[in-house]
Amino acid sequence: MNLDSEFLPPPPPEDDETPEEKREYCSMPGYMESVYPFIYSSKILTSLFNEDHISNALKFFQLNPLIKRVVKYIQPNTDILQMGATWGPLEYCVARKQNFRGRYHIEDISPVQFEAAKAKVAPWLNAKAKLRDFTIPTKKVRTYDTVICFFSLHEMPDERKKITIKRAINVLNTEGRAIFVDYHKPTKYHPLRFLIRQSNRIFEPFAESLWNTEIKNYLQFKPNIIWSKETFFGGLFQITTALKKEPRID
């Protein structure tokens, strides 16, 4: 029986890199192997942290509310790039919101995270996880209506933060939106302020720069982008969005 093509889900994003490019894109950055030697290479830890109740507890039970805010930005039948796989149900929630319409493309450099993301979106034919360094632009430019960067920036040195934000802006369609969810400087009398700062300095050495620098200020010059920011849980978390009004940055 022939079905009208408009009722069929689109195919997943095509794989257009050469073998040489794939090897370049799949090389784990040295800082990840030194700063995070076990977290992103352990199947056991990844499976544990992907349990909803554990991933939510690690974010002080703010993970699910933050995911709901992100999902509200997503429109059906649009193209989405997610820069970095995450612990918890984000991928499932985004794919379910799309409901087989549009394209959902997830990129992550960790083989363990890649496999976990691939399993989460397996039921949706329009969703695909790809093992690659999302800071490196693809040779063939593909644009998106929404770019999601969910708790990825705080794990990067500032230079990689800059190129990640720049790529997120570059691949947006006009009127597209980049959504950055990450840590933020908590209010002065936040009860967890001291604990989080000390924990960051031991386990997350690149996170504290987000306390002192606005995400929009990592771009060296200001394109015509409409920025907005909301903070949550006493300022400990932020959702910063960038609505693109101009052609891509050169």
**HSE-up (13 A, CA, CB side) for residue 88:** 22
Structure tokens at 57: 């507890």
Question: pTM of this prediction?
Answer: 0.89
**Rounded Cα distance, 25 and 114, in Å:** 13
Whether the predicted pLDDT of 114 surpasses 60: yes
* Within a domain: 10: no
Structure tokens at 129: 């996880």
pLDDT at 18: 55
* Within a domain: 250: no
**Rounded Cα distance, 45 and 112, in Å:** 10
Q: Which stretch of DSSP H or E encloses residue 231?
A: strand 225-232
Radius of gyration of the chain (CA): 18
pLDDT at 8: 46
Judge contact between 185 and 235, C-beta under 8 A. Answer: yes
**Rounded Cα distance, 55 and 57, in Å:** 5
Whether the predicted pLDDT of 220 surpasses 80: no
* Within a domain: 9: no
Judge contact between 172 and 243, C-beta under 8 A. Answer: no
**Rounded Cα distance, 123 and 95, in Å:** 9
CB-CB neighbours of 25 under 10 Å: 18
pLDDT in tens, 61-97: 999 999 999 999 998 899 999 999 999 999 999 999 9
pLDDT at 20: 52
* Within a domain: 175: yes
Average pLDDT of span 2-25: 51
| CATH code of residue 230 | 3.40.50.150
pLDDT at 35: 84
Longest pairwise C-alpha distance within the chain:
65
* Within a domain: 3: no
The chain-wide mean pLDDT, for the chain, equals: 88
Q: Which stretch of DSSP H or E encloses residue 67?
A: helix 63-73
Q: Which of these ranges, 21-35, 65-79, 145-159, 224-238, has the smallest mean pLDDT?
A: 21-35
Q: How many domains does the chain have?
A: 1
* Within a domain: 193: yes
Q: Where in the sequence is the domain holding 80, given as residue range(s)?
A: 17-244
pLDDT at 19: 54
| 199 vs 32: which has the higher pLDDT | 199
**Rounded Cα distance, 157 and 245, in Å:** 28
* Within a domain: 61: yes
* Within a domain: 5: no
Whether the predicted pLDDT of 2 surpasses 50: no
Whether the predicted pLDDT of 117 surpasses 80: yes
Pairing of strands 172-183, 102-108: unpaired
Q: pLDDT band at residue 174, thresholds of 50, 70 and 90? A: very high
Whether the predicted pLDDT of 23 surpasses 70: no
Q: How far is CA 113 from CA 48, 50, 120, 182, 209, in A?
A: 12, 10, 11, 18, 25
